[in-house]
Structure 1
Amino acid sequence: MSDLPVDQLSESDARAELDRLAAELARHDALYHQQDAPEISDADYDALKRRALEIEDTFPDLTSPESPSQVVGSAASSQFAPVRHGVPMLSLDNAFSTDEVTDFEARIRRFLKLPADEHVAFVAEPKIDGLSASLRYENGVLVRGATRGDGRTGEDVTANLRTIADIPQTLSGSGWPEVIEVRGEVYAPNDEFDAFNAAAEAEGGRTYANPRNFAAGSLRQKDPAITATRPLRFFAYAWGEVSAPFADTQAHALDALKAWGFKVNARSKRVEDAAGLIALYDGLQTDRAGLGYDIDGVVYKVDRLDWQARLGFVARTPRWAIAHKFPAQQAQTVLEGIDIQVGRTGSLTPVARLHPVTVGGVVVRNATLHNEDEIARKDVRIGDTVILQRAGDVIPQILGIVPEKRPADAAPYVFPTRCPVCDSEAVREDGEVRRRCTGGLICNAQLVERLKHFVGRRAFDIEGLGEKQLTAFHERGWLKEPADIFRLARDETRLSELRTEEGYGEASVRNLVAGIDARRTIALDRLIFALGIREIGEQTSILLSRHFGTWAAFHAACLDAAEGIPSAEWTQLAEGHGVSERTLSVLAAATPPADDPWPEAPLDQKLALAFPGVASPARRALALLAPDWPAIVRLAQVAREEGPSMTLGEIAGIAGVGPVAARALAQFFHEPHNRAVVDALIEQLDRVEDAERPKTDTAVAGKTVVFTGALERFTRDEAKARAESLGAKVSGSVSKKTDYLVAGPGAGSKMADAQKHGVVILTEDEWLALIGG
């Protein structure tokens, strides 16, 4: 995420960041609402959401139906039938401080134009950390129950909700509307949750991280009989569709729900003005641990329903309600060790191993340390007493240390520079906060993910080898590197074993072998892309293949580049402010004597005399690296002897490749394991096809083309490949440098961008006519 304030973003940067934030929020919504497996804390999620909303406020034209301000929750799971809510189940804005609560009341007063002496009454109620549900009653009888889903469509979990004792099958008393959707929260009491987990652990069954996940998982059981065994409860606090009004205030509505047989939270209370809200919040925060169930804040709602109607909504949140979140719960414990986990894409993530401690009712044994910079910034050492926080009561993290409790022998943590799984180098690319294993195709932690990429549609495109098959074959020990895929196709013993298994048989095995053998001849660009080298994407692979032409030339260049990787000192020197290629050349050509010829001269003058012609901005950068004469002598040596090889420079100089991708390529081939994996793969192939040289004598040679909409005459990949073979460059976005936009039905924002920039817009037929079919 960009660190720039939103008001300093250009519109194009804002659009790109909003798209990225929307995708990230959608992923986290699905993890939270559908899979009950959140990856980030509520606080981190809220920060992403606030950034997205700020961008939408600053650039209102970027708002679309998929924007974060327009989305609530996550789409319903396909496991249950969808239920369309009569009235959407909307989310609330959040407040995190008393100032924000005061602002909330002030906004209401301004909107309603209330005099200063008129009080505003609110109903404040604990914000239960459970799963929202809506119950539809017709003529007093429960007919359907659903989860919130995305706010408009939820999941039909009627049978499971009927098993909860707090939910009446028929309404008590009188006065209820003919149709009413009663809404509330399904939750699990802490003591019963702990008892369930203890029993499940003793029996070797599944345990849950917290009561919220437990409630969500229990309500989504396919078998209602399982849900019936779970200790679930329900608090009612709102309503959706109603056939007739039944109350004039929020407080009276809660009284009515209670009279009809629902449990209403006893800590819900009618209070006046911001002072009353804050006092109730403080009391609930103090009593939180003793409530017997998890809450993560307090919800404030304007009491008068006619005022709620006047206040209405902003986007998809009500003006008349807000959630005041509690700060994350904290504890102190001892850091017993730091373990390094290697992710499926090679990132090294440090995890704190802690002396077990209970935080908010959950026993915590591990916490994230994010990355090596975070460890250094907080100066976290093994043996330290650390301050632990369960941010949003979900994912533990370390806030800092208690300095006075540090052991005398606690040493600074040294982050590994080699992968703990495969012992390959672990490096940090420019601008990256994470260190990554360069083992790639030989690292067991990454292998299945790398093989998925290897057999993917844009790489080797091997039919019949998906993640399921790759994982199964890897677990059997059959696949340890890409060459093993081709060896498998000729291993009659293993193929015979497959033929006897359910899901395979003779035809399936025959098709699998045919799919593998069909790819023993592969295009050079596909082979390069299939290796899965970081920074070497599909387009870069095409550029490399066209530049070198043959596998032999490309392979030889990579091996030579691997021997010419610049040292860390050279890289630091080259990245200095004002240090240009000319500056590096001047330094490399200089041979300063070992002894200082100008001992009395100031440092800047020494640099000017040692390296004549170097401009003052560069000298300032050099002064930071060379504060004395021996360091100046060393600078010249680094520039002369430790820079990139000519071949590495050649690769970096290929238009569209650049130094970052070139260095990634060199680092990959610098690892002996990777070279061995590539050599073994080449032995299994029949032929690597030479690169097709792009044409230069066509109508679109040298032109930039963008395809958009639902193309009907060809697939997007076919269109791209055809355009590139004719010498055109295919881009994913429209700019003033775009020459043609080829638009199929449903073209959207790219069409508007093309019109704005004066780009030539073509139909598919017009494009085919231009390129000659």
Structure 2
Amino acid sequence: MDLQIAEQKINEIRSLLNQYGYEYYVLDNPSVPDAEYDQLMHELLELEERFPQLKTSDSPSVRVGGAVLDLFEKVEHRTPMLSLGNAFNEQDLRDFDRRVRQAVGDNVSYVCELKIDGLAVSLRYEDGLFVQGATRGDGTIGEDITANLKTIKSIPLRLRENVSLEVRGEAYMPKGSFEALNKAREERGEDLFANPRNAAAGSLRQLDPKIAASRRLDVFLYGIGNTGASGVISHSEALNYLDHLSFKTNKERRKCATIDDVISFVNGWVEKRPHLPYEIDGIVIKVDSLEQQAELGTTAKSPRWAIAYKFPAEEVVTTLIDIELSVGRTGVVTPTALLVPVKVAGTTVQRASLHNEDLIREKDIKIGDKVVVKKAGDIIPEVVNVLGDQRTGDEVDFHMPTHCPECESELVRLEGEVALRCINPKCPAQIREGLIHFVSRDAMNIDGLGEKVISQLFAEKLISDVADIYMLTREQLLALERMGEKSVSNLIKAIEISKSNSLEKLLFGLGIRHVGAKAAKTLAQQFFTMEKLAEASKEDLIAVNEIGDKMADSIVAFFEQEEAKELIKELVTAGVNMEYKGAKPVSAEESDSIFAGKTVVLTGKLEQLSRNEAKEKIEALGGNVAGSVSKKTHLVIAGEDAGSKLTKAQELGIEVWDEEKLLVELNK
């Protein structure tokens, strides 16, 4: 067979396999038996082996898995993958609806979708070709798992149109695949996966794509990161467009005209969910209009136009066999119940939160009690109550210790707190937990430095503070158990990559009390460098939006410590970046623009600028763009069909511009 004939034959087989695969994996309506599909795939693999120059990245043969990877590269999402706020009851849903209507008016409809219990992924296509797939990660930076995602047969490798776009979805493991996987692992004497979500996540983070291919994963796509040229104006249209392009979407969705319709949909699935071939842990409710979504905007963590209703918590009975104490990075001593393993909400539970000593006393919890354990979705299991009538007399009272279980320092209860706390700054547990926090995903995000490795390095006295991480040598790491050449090379590379993180990652990683991820980014944007932040007074800090007295005191106290000053010096010497890498905001003093120092609200549809473009341009000139109108608002930009925000601005006597006036001022 010559090259030309081989190419023609390969193209014919690929076309058939793509069609049969779409019918089987997306439409769930196969037109040929499995044996015919398998025979064609076998023929394709043989031809591509004989003519390797004809193999392409969108060939169905890539789904069997390719070469083993060295590590996962980082991917920065072009549009952040935000998490959703939660609703747990009908009132939460009605409150969400009230907030939405207050912002955009009463002419609003919703789309309800099943919340698949899996792993959020982002897929990028260029000219119709699948070029990259990534995990959600921390929402801004994920991991490149393209090779593993190509093994999921419901993900199209080439679209029906040559469009460039990014789509979001949920990769999951069907119940049947999960049961087969655990059965095989049990026969091999391996640990079982706790639930399908963990199994899916573990499968997609395998460096060998053949492992992912063997686990029969699936995916539902639920959104477009950037609608591009598709011209859709609503979420429901976007889902239909995904169907048109040959993506697999979940058909169990409904457009609802009122919140009562939403609640009816939610209640129906509370009963029907056990009969699905995959796990769901709730319902996602989204405002349908993309224009209204833009007007509602987002917080730092979640969109204001969507919410996730979590199904009611499942409760089971088991035995509390002991209470374990752990010391966190802030010194808080937390009791945890050790339980006889029990299945609850799709997960095998062996531990549950007891929060603090007061709760143990209030619920009269004893070691040996029969207890009711509650868990809903991702929420940490907790002990709800004790079945006192089932006591035998052998139960034992529990007493919190007077001294730290790690360092023997006396425990204290600070004024206004219920928790017992170890205040010894040299407590090994606090140092170890601080190190674990530093390398975590939302902080410095160092792959390969998980809790076990950090604990091992700490026990071996190879690290005692976060700066020591950057002094680790290949020889030291190779001496550790279960650390081979490849693992060590990947870890050293990950440590090196982390040095270039933007300042907010480092600030959050340092574990300054009361400074979370959002505050760390606010501080980084405001002060831009670690040096300027360290020099800031309490007054400087309080002047920053969202920074209060307590946080300001904590920041000042941290940077006054000699230990903190020395630590920063060591990190600088190691080459760790100390600057914010985003766009530097322009202060009111630095700008002579009319927007400088003013709070601006955007409402309605702009014709020549997107809302994000307008926001970026205003902020670049020293303005602050807010999401709602208040007495502190200086200016409202009203586009077409402006709603309640315009009305409120007029009531308050706030200056209102149209888009034409905005463009004139932006272009001065």
Q: What TM-score, normalized to structure 2? A: 0.50
- The 8 Å contact of residues 233 and 289 in structure 2, kept in 1 or not, is answered as yes
- Relative to structure 1, the CA distance from residue 212 to residue 470 in structure 2 (aligned partners, 3 Å threshold; closer, same or farther) is closer
Shift of 1:270: 1.7
- The residue that corresponds to 2:556 in the other structure is 733
Shift of 1:281: 0.9
- Map Cα deviations across residues 702-722 of structure 1 (whole Å, 9 max, x no partner): xxxxx996669xx9xxxxxxx
Name which of 341, 365, 375 aligns with 2:350.
365
* 1:280 corresponds to 2:265: yes
- The 8 Å contact of residues 448 and 471 in structure 1, kept in 2 or not, is answered as no
- Map Cα deviations across residues 182-239 of structure 1 (whole Å, 9 max, x no partner): 2111112234324423433543445443333332232222222222222321001111
- The residue that corresponds to 1:123 in the other structure is 111
Name which of 58, 75, 96 aligns with 1:104.
96
- The residue that corresponds to 1:233 in the other structure is 218
Looking at structure 2, the residues matched to 298 and 311 of structure 1 have their Cα atoms a distance apart, in angstroms, of: 20
Q: Which AA in structure 2 matches 1:103?
A: D
- The 8 Å contact of residues 412 and 423 in structure 2, kept in 1 or not, is answered as no
- Map Cα deviations across residues 521-569 of structure 1 (whole Å, 9 max, x no partner): xxxxxxxxxxxxxxxxxxxxxxxxxxxxxxxxxxxxxxxxxxxxxxxxx
Looking at structure 2, the residues matched to 470 and 113 of structure 1 have their Cα atoms a distance apart, in angstroms, of: 54
- The 8 Å contact of residues 440 and 446 in structure 1, kept in 2 or not, is answered as no
- Relative to structure 1, the CA distance from residue 403 to residue 132 in structure 2 (aligned partners, 3 Å threshold; closer, same or farther) is same
Shift of 1:137: 2.0
1:113-262 to 2 correspondences below 5 Å: 113-114=105-106, 120-172=108-160, 176=161, 178-262=163-247
Looking at structure 2, the residues matched to 186 and 90 of structure 1 have their Cα atoms a distance apart, in angstroms, of: 16
Give me the CA root mean square deviation.
Answer: 4.9
- The 8 Å contact of residues 144 and 158 in structure 1, kept in 2 or not, is answered as yes
Shift of 1:278: 0.5
- The 8 Å contact of residues 177 and 245 in structure 1, kept in 2 or not, is answered as no
Give the SS at the match of 1:160: helix
Looking at structure 2, the residues matched to 326 and 266 of structure 1 have their Cα atoms a distance apart, in angstroms, of: 20
- The 8 Å contact of residues 129 and 162 in structure 2, kept in 1 or not, is answered as no
Shift of 1:446: 6.0
* 1:268 corresponds to 2:268: no
Looking at structure 1, the residues matched to 342 and 77 of structure 2 have their Cα atoms a distance apart, in angstroms, of: 42
- The 8 Å contact of residues 130 and 185 in structure 1, kept in 2 or not, is answered as yes
- Map Cα deviations across residues 9-30 of structure 1 (whole Å, 9 max, x no partner): xxxxxxxxxxxxxxxxxxxxxx
Q: Which AA in structure 2 matches 1:164?
A: I
- Map Cα deviations across residues 369-399 of structure 1 (whole Å, 9 max, x no partner): 2343321121012343311012444532201
Give the SS at the match of 1:275: helix
Give the SS at the match of 2:381: strand
Shift of 1:130: 1.9
Q: Which AA in structure 1 matches 2:324?
A: I
1:83-98 to 2 correspondences below 5 Å: 83-98=75-90
Looking at structure 2, the residues matched to 347 and 306 of structure 1 have their Cα atoms a distance apart, in angstroms, of: 46
Shift of 1:163: 0.8
- The residue that corresponds to 1:639 in the other structure is none
Looking at structure 2, the residues matched to 428 and 85 of structure 1 have their Cα atoms a distance apart, in angstroms, of: 44
- The residue that corresponds to 1:763 in the other structure is none
- The residue that corresponds to 2:316 in the other structure is 331
Q: Tell which has more relative contact order, 1 or 2 (C-alpha 8 A, sep 6+).
A: 2
Q: Which AA in structure 1 matches 2:167?
A: V
- The 8 Å contact of residues 183 and 238 in structure 1, kept in 2 or not, is answered as yes
- The residue that corresponds to 2:51 in the other structure is none
Looking at structure 2, the residues matched to 128 and 191 of structure 1 have their Cα atoms a distance apart, in angstroms, of: 15
Give the SS at the match of 2:282: strand
Looking at structure 2, the residues matched to 315 and 420 of structure 1 have their Cα atoms a distance apart, in angstroms, of: 37
Shift of 1:285: 1.9
Identity within the alignment, %:
41
- Relative to structure 1, the CA distance from residue 201 to residue 440 in structure 2 (aligned partners, 3 Å threshold; closer, same or farther) is farther
Shift of 1:468: 8.0
- The 8 Å contact of residues 138 and 180 in structure 1, kept in 2 or not, is answered as yes
Shift of 1:277: 0.4
- The 8 Å contact of residues 371 and 384 in structure 2, kept in 1 or not, is answered as yes
- Relative to structure 1, the CA distance from residue 304 to residue 279 in structure 2 (aligned partners, 3 Å threshold; closer, same or farther) is same
Gaps of 5+ in 2: 1-69, 436-451, 463-474, 481-526, 536-553, 570-577, 589-668
Looking at structure 2, the residues matched to 210 and 376 of structure 1 have their Cα atoms a distance apart, in angstroms, of: 33
Q: What TM-score, normalized to structure 1? A: 0.44
- The residue that corresponds to 1:28 in the other structure is none
Looking at structure 2, the residues matched to 353 and 734 of structure 1 have their Cα atoms a distance apart, in angstroms, of: 38
- Map Cα deviations across residues 346-385 of structure 1 (whole Å, 9 max, x no partner): 9765443333321122222332323433211210123433
- Map Cα deviations across residues 572-608 of structure 1 (whole Å, 9 max, x no partner): xxxxxxxxxxxxxxxxxxxxxxxxxxxxxxxxxxxxx
Q: Which AA in structure 2 matches 1:733?
A: V
- Relative to structure 1, the CA distance from residue 165 to residue 353 in structure 2 (aligned partners, 3 Å threshold; closer, same or farther) is same
Looking at structure 2, the residues matched to 418 and 199 of structure 1 have their Cα atoms a distance apart, in angstroms, of: 46
Shift of 1:433: 5.2
- The 8 Å contact of residues 327 and 406 in structure 2, kept in 1 or not, is answered as no
Shift of 1:248: 4.2
Looking at structure 1, the residues matched to 268 and 394 of structure 2 have their Cα atoms a distance apart, in angstroms, of: 43
Q: Which AA in structure 1 matches 2:98?
A: A
- The residue that corresponds to 2:34 in the other structure is none
Looking at structure 2, the residues matched to 473 and 304 of structure 1 have their Cα atoms a distance apart, in angstroms, of: 52
Q: Which AA in structure 2 matches 1:278?
A: I
Looking at structure 2, the residues matched to 468 and 328 of structure 1 have their Cα atoms a distance apart, in angstroms, of: 34
- Map Cα deviations across residues 274-296 of structure 1 (whole Å, 9 max, x no partner): 00100111112222333243323
Shift of 1:449: 5.4
- The 8 Å contact of residues 135 and 181 in structure 1, kept in 2 or not, is answered as yes
Shift of 1:124: 0.1
* 1:295 corresponds to 2:280: yes
- The residue that corresponds to 1:569 in the other structure is none
Give the SS at the match of 2:339: strand
- Map Cα deviations across residues 408-448 of structure 1 (whole Å, 9 max, x no partner): 564543445678899x687545557566899999x9x9699
Looking at structure 2, the residues matched to 329 and 210 of structure 1 have their Cα atoms a distance apart, in angstroms, of: 15
* Number of aligned residues: 404
Give the SS at the match of 2:241: helix
- The 8 Å contact of residues 406 and 429 in structure 2, kept in 1 or not, is answered as no
Looking at structure 1, the residues matched to 171 and 182 of structure 2 have their Cα atoms a distance apart, in angstroms, of: 18
- Relative to structure 1, the CA distance from residue 216 to residue 430 in structure 2 (aligned partners, 3 Å threshold; closer, same or farther) is same
